[in-house]
Amino acid sequence: MLFHIDANKERELFSVTMYRWLHDEERQRAIRHVPFSVQAFVDVALKAANATECVSLTKVQEGLHNRVFALKFNNGVEFIAKIPFPTIGPKRLCTASEVATLDFLRTKMFPVPVVRAWCSRAESSPVRVEYIMYEKIPGIPLVQLDTNDTLSEDLEEDPFIEIAPHIAGVVYFFSRARFPQFGSIYYKEDMPDFLRGGPFYGIPIEDDTSRFCIGPTVDREFWRAGRAALGIDRGPWPDMRSWMLAASACARASLETHPDDAFKAEYLRLIADYERLVPHIARKDTKAILWHPDFWPRNIIVSPEKPHTLQGYIDWSGATISPFEMQVEPPAGYDFDEHPHVVLNKGEEYSVDFSSEIDELAPQERNDAMAAYRHAVRTAVLYNSVHEHDAHFAKAMFGPHVKAAKRCFLFPVEAITRGETFGLAFVRYSFVQCRSVWRYFSDAPFPLDISDEDAARISAEWWALTRKSEERDKLMEQIGLQATQEGLVGAEDYEIFHSRIEMVRQQLAASDLPPDEKELVRNWPWVPYIPMVSTETCY
């Protein structure tokens, strides 16, 4: 059946219309201009929905990495459809892996979207793009119910607390699932023969998972900024050491055509230092863990009415099987920040108390403390729920000192492929951070030649750059911009923010800045020492 749509409306489906960029807009928009056959798209959806008419096709969201549509049909069925941008990672593999991951999770009775149609090879489809169509999960994102209400509202009715036991069940599955390799999940037919026969699952199972295998990682780090063209090892990897060395090989290959010989030589030296670290920081007993790639309340769907019930988890794009230490942390909304008037007691079970000064606080301070108390209770309830299933996993997941130490110890792994993006000071600083916690993990001498004086100098260099970034970020926050959005604003707000930026530039130009900083003012806040990652494609 023909789907009639105005030509201008059709073009709007292909382009960014909800947002604008305050910097490099032409390039940002070009990257995210994705035309496709609307009629073929609707035809696929009609067949998948077993409907005779598509009542509406609406663009509902445009992110940095994909465009999302809502489709309604004359039989009452509703779909959510997603088309990826080239910034997401390898579009074919990302699409195929997400579909297979969702299917695998559904075999374990996870409440995740049901995929009704998909294509990971644009050239083989009349739609001419990669896409996934899912059944719409009824409900609203948990984030819409997040409030800072005072204790006058019963905490037992807090939606975060109501669904905490369900989240604990998800965490428990993740803690038990043993995968024999690091990589991403695929259907066997989407992988070459030599990857189809490897082991997939490391614990006894009752259901059939013979359709799945572990293939190359969809971790964007191995694909971004021209790396898709490199012939590098992207997994799957049998152990943590292989995965770590693949990261350094990726960094080395990225430098082959770098025009700055001095930068290249220094970076190669740092890569060699990193590879001397790997045998010491690659744990032989680490777990290969599947985890939600964006475990935030916006991706947890709940019923809108009380009592709130869990409806499902969405947005699994980019999910990987990776080392426990790099994956596991409390979901956002369950990670309590310390507060002077709220005490989170961390014993075998967590409990929450007010400090003795609570009754002496001014009204606004008291309200802030009440809100902090609510967040602390959320954290305690989830911890205790996870602890009931697996005490060791709960402590590893929530223990702040353990988590921080592990992050520092493994910081070089995160930094080694980002020297071109964040600068070599970032890589050097990662070595210093690793050195600072070395004694907690190893009895051997630290393998790199970094003296106390070197460590102090490297740290000072990095913190000087960090302070510049923080100063910039603070100014941006004062005019209502988030630095992490890299100039992305609502289309209706573009002129307002453009004027505010110009006002700040004029103020900075009139201030007493060093000459080198004066040169940067005309492009503020888009300065060379702040990376722009939203334009990095993964072709």
462 assigned to some structural domain: no
SS3 label, residue 118: strand
Q: 130-134, 209-213, 344-348, 361-365: which has the highest mean pLDDT?
A: 130-134
61 assigned to some structural domain: yes
Point out which residues pair with 301 in neighbouring strands.
141, 312
504 assigned to some structural domain: yes
Q: What is the pLDDT of residue 150?
A: 44
User: Where is the domain boundary, 78, 112, 137?
Assistant: 137
Q: Dump pLDDT digits (tens) for 227-286.
A: 999 999 999 999 999 999 999 999 999 999 889 999 999 999 999 999 999 999 998 888
111 assigned to some structural domain: yes
Helices 400-415 + 391-398 axis angle, to 10: 60
User: Where is the domain boundary, 137, 157, 173?
Assistant: 137
Q: 65-79, 157-171, 297-311, 405-419: which has the highest mean pLDDT?
A: 65-79
92 vs 4: which has the higher pLDDT: 92
Average of per-residue pLDDT values in the chain: 90
Q: Dump pLDDT digits (tens) for 142-175.
A: 999 886 554 555 787 889 999 999 999 999 999 8
18 assigned to some structural domain: yes
Q: Dump pLDDT digits (tens) for 37-61.
A: 999 999 999 999 999 999 999 999 9
69 assigned to some structural domain: yes
Range of the domain at 534: 475-539
Q: Is the pLDDT of residue 518 over 70?
A: no
Q: For residue 500, with 0-12 CB atoms within 10 Å meaning exposed, 13-18 middle and 19 or more buried, which class applies?
A: middle
Instruction: State how far the Cα of 178 lies from the Cα of 187, in Å rounded to an integer.
Output: 18
- Answer left, alpha or beta for residue 283, where phi above 0 means left and psi between -120 and 50 means alpha: beta
User: Where is the domain boundary, 70, 104, 137?
Assistant: 137
196 assigned to some structural domain: no
| Sequential DSSP letters for 287-353 | -EEE--TT-SGGGEEE-SSSSP-EEEE---TT--EEEHHHH--PPTTS-PPPBTTEEEEESSSEEEE
Q: What is the pLDDT of residue 260?
A: 92
Q: Is the pLDDT of residue 205 over 60?
A: no
- Asked if residue 154 lies in contact with residue 172, where contact means CB atoms within 8 angstroms, the answer is no
Res. 433 pLDDT band, cuts 50 70 90:
very high
Instruction: State how far the Cα of 189 lies from the Cα of 186, in Å rounded to an integer.
Output: 8
Number of domains in the chain: 2
**Position of tokens 């800072």?**
148
Q: What is the pLDDT of residue 207?
A: 56
534 assigned to some structural domain: yes
pLDDT > 70 in the chain, percent: 95
pLDDT > 90 in the chain, percent: 64
- Asked if residue 329 lies in contact with residue 125, where contact means CB atoms within 8 angstroms, the answer is no
- Domain holding 74: CATH number? 3.30.200.20
Q: What is the pLDDT of residue 370?
A: 86
Q: Dump pLDDT digits (tens) for 450-488.
A: 999 999 999 999 999 898 888 888 889 989 998 888 899
